[in-house]
Amino acid sequence: MRRLIKIYDTTLRDGTQGEGVAFSMEDKVRIAQRLDALGVHYIEGGWPGSNPKDLRFFRRVQDAVFKTAKIAAFGATRRPGVRPQEDANLQALVEAGPPVVTIFGKSWDFHVTSALGTTLEENLGMIGDSIDFLLKHFEEVIYDAEHFFDGFKRNREYALRTLLTAETAGAHCLVLCDTNGGSLPHEITEIIREVKKAVKPATRLGIHAHNDTECAVANSLSAVSEGVEHVQGTINGYGERCGNANLVSIIPNVMLKMRLESIPEGNLKELRAVSRFVSELANRKPWQAQPYVGDSAFAHKGGIHVSAVLKHPETYEHADPELVGNHRRVLVSELAGQSNILWKAKEYGIDLGKGTPEARSILQTLKELEDQGYQFEGAEASFELLMERALGNHRAYFELEGYRVTVDERKEDAEPVAEASVRLKVKGIPEHTAASGNGPVNALDHALRKALEDFYPNLKEMTLLDYKVRILDESKGTGAKTRVLITSGDGEESWGTVGVADNIIEASWLALVDSIEYKLRRDERRGRR
How sure is the predictor about 527, in pLDDT bands with cuts at 50, 70 and 90? confident
Q: What is the pLDDT of residue 336?
A: 38
Q: What is the pLDDT of residue 332?
A: 33
Give the sign of the dihedral formed by CA 502, CA 508, CA 513, CA 515.
positive
Helix then strand then coil, in percent of the chain rounded to 5, is 45, 20, 35
Higher pLDDT, 512 or 49: 512
CB 348 within 8 A of CB 387: yes
Higher pLDDT, 454 or 368: 454
How sure is the predictor about 423, in pLDDT bands with cuts at 50, 70 and 90? very high
Residue at 76: amino acid letter: A
Radius of gyration of the chain (CA): 26
CB 265 within 8 A of CB 255: yes
Q: How many CB atoms lie within 10 A of CB 224?
A: 22
Tell whether 414 is covered by a domain: yes
Strands 42-46 and 6-9: parallel
Q: What is the pLDDT of residue 10?
A: 98
Higher pLDDT, 304 or 384: 384
- DSSP state letter for 77: P
Same domain, 79 and 226: yes
How far apart are the C-alpha atoms of 439 and 401, rounded to whole Å?
A: 22
Q: What is the pLDDT of residues 186-237, one digit of tens each?
A: 999 999 999 999 999 999 999 999 999 999 999 999 999 999 999 999 999 9
CB 254 within 8 A of CB 221: yes
- DSSP state letter for 314: G
- Among 105, 194, 112, 117, CA closest to 156: 194
Tell whether 253 is covered by a domain: yes
The answer, yes or no, to whether residue 70 has pLDDT greater than 90, is yes
Q: What is the pLDDT of residues 317-366, one digit of tens each?
A: 899 999 999 988 765 323 334 555 676 777 777 777 777 888 788 878 87
The answer, yes or no, to whether residue 520 has pLDDT greater than 70, is yes
Which residues partner with 246 through β-bridges? Answer: 234
| Cβ-based neighbours of 36, under 8 Å, separated by 6 or more | 43, 66, 67, 68, 69
Q: What is the mean pLDDT of residues 276-293?
A: 93
Lowest mean pLDDT among 138-147, 224-233, 361-370, 431-440: 361-370
Same domain, 259 and 402: no
Q: What is the pLDDT of residue 340?
A: 59
Same domain, 44 and 190: yes
| Cβ-based neighbours of 430, under 8 Å, separated by 6 or more | 401, 423, 424
Bin 491: left if φ > 0, else alpha if -120 < ψ < 50, else beta.
Answer: left
DSSP per-residue string spanning 60-89: HHTT---SSPEEEEEEEPPPTT--GGG-HH
Tell whether 78 is covered by a domain: yes
Strands (E) in 394-481, as ranges, are: 399-408, 417-426, 429-437, 463-471
Q: What is the pLDDT of residues 291-331, one digit of tens each?
A: 999 988 988 765 566 567 667 788 888 999 999 999 887 65
CB 41 within 8 A of CB 75: no
How far apart are the C-alpha atoms of 339 and 354, rounded to whole Å?
A: 8
| Cβ-based neighbours of 71, under 8 Å, separated by 6 or more | 32, 42, 43, 45, 58, 61, 98, 99, 100
CB 226 within 8 A of CB 293: no
How sure is the predictor about 94, in pLDDT bands with cuts at 50, 70 and 90? very high
CB 513 within 8 A of CB 484: no
Q: Supply the CATH number for residue 21's domain.
A: 3.20.20.70
The answer, yes or no, to whether residue 65 has pLDDT greater than 70, is yes
Q: What is the pLDDT of residue 370?
A: 78
CA atoms within 13 A of residue 151's CA, in its CB half-sphere: 26
Q: What is the mean pLDDT of residues 27-38?
A: 96
Tell whether 477 is covered by a domain: no
How sure is the predictor about 244, in pLDDT bands with cuts at 50, 70 and 90? very high
How far apart are the C-alpha atoms of 501 and 480, rounded to whole Å?
A: 9
The answer, yes or no, to whether residue 529 has pLDDT greater than 70, is no
Tell whether 313 is covered by a domain: no
The answer, yes or no, to whether residue 47 has pLDDT greater than 50, is yes
Q: What is the pLDDT of residue 307?
A: 64
Tell whether 320 is covered by a domain: no
Q: Which of 263, 280, 311 is the last residue of a domain?
A: 263
Same domain, 26 and 175: yes
Tell whether 481 is covered by a domain: no
Q: What is the pLDDT of residue 334?
A: 32
Q: Supply the CATH number for residue 416's domain.
A: 3.30.160
Q: Which of 263, 292, 316 is the last residue of a domain?
A: 263
Domain range for 154? 6-263
Q: What is the pLDDT of residue 335?
A: 35
Question: How many domains is the chain partitioned into structurally?
Answer: 2
How far apart are the C-alpha atoms of 244 and 228, rounded to whole Å?
A: 18
Tell whether 503 is covered by a domain: no
Q: Maximum CA pair distance of the chain?
A: 80
Q: Which of 222, 244, 263 is the last residue of a domain?
A: 263
Residue at 386: amino acid letter: L
